[in-house]
């Protein structure tokens, strides 16, 4: 299964350097390719340029927040189909409902569980591959 998904390109949008490094290192160790953005504006630009297979989007970001970045990506025909998963410390069920209601394709809470995280990301990639465009 790893071979079929090996090399998937994941854009990690995270302004906390330690959280970003941990997510990047865990994903790269598990065969994913990664791109990084530390703001919503940077995420939109990088997504348009590289068209990643999945975006992991923090919500609390400098400049535009993750929800605004999501809305901009969904409004652009080039990036509208990229799966975007909220990656956030806001773990209350009302937060989860708000993120899914805003249009996120899923939710992963922080701090990430380094044993579960690659499988969670892989599952989101698989789901996106199975869904019709």
Predicted pLDDT of residue 97? 86
Q: What CATH fold (topology level) applies to the domain 2-127?
A: Rossmann fold (3.40.50)
Give me the helices (H) in the chain, please. 2-5, 17-29, 40-50, 66-75, 93-102, 117-130
Looking at residue 11, its pLDDT comes to 98
User: In this structure, how many other beta carbons lie within 10 angstroms of the beta carbon of residue 3?
Assistant: 7
Domain ranges of the chain: 2-127
pLDDT at 60: 93
DSSP letter at 81 equals: T
pLDDT of res. 2: 40
Residue with tokens 């993750």: 66
Say if pTM beats, i.e. exceeds, 0.75: yes
What does the pLDDT profile of the chain (133 residues) look like in tens digits?
344 456 899 999 999 999 999 999 999 999 999 999 999 999 999 999 999 999 999 999 999 999 999 999 999 999 999 999 999 887 677 888 889 899 999 999 999 999 999 999 999 999 877 765 5
- Residue 90: count of CB within 10 angstroms of its CB: 16
């Amino acid at each position: 299964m790893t071979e079929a998904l090996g090399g998937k390109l994941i854009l990690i949008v995270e302004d906390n350097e330690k959280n970003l490094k941990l997510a990047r290192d865990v994903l790269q160790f598990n065969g994913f390719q990664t791109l990084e953005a530390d703001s919503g504006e940077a995420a939109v630009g990088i997504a348009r340029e590289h068209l990643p297979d999945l975006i992991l989007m923090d919500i609390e970001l400098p400049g535009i927040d993750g929800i605004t970045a999501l809305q901009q990506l969904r409004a652009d025909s080039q990036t509208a189909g990229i799966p975007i998963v909220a990656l956030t410390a806001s773990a209350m069920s009302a937060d989860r409902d708000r993120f899914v209601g805003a249009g996120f394709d899923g939710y992963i809470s922080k701090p990430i569980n380094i044993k579960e995280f690659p499988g969670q990301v892989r599952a989101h990639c698989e789901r996106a591959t199975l869904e019709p465009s």
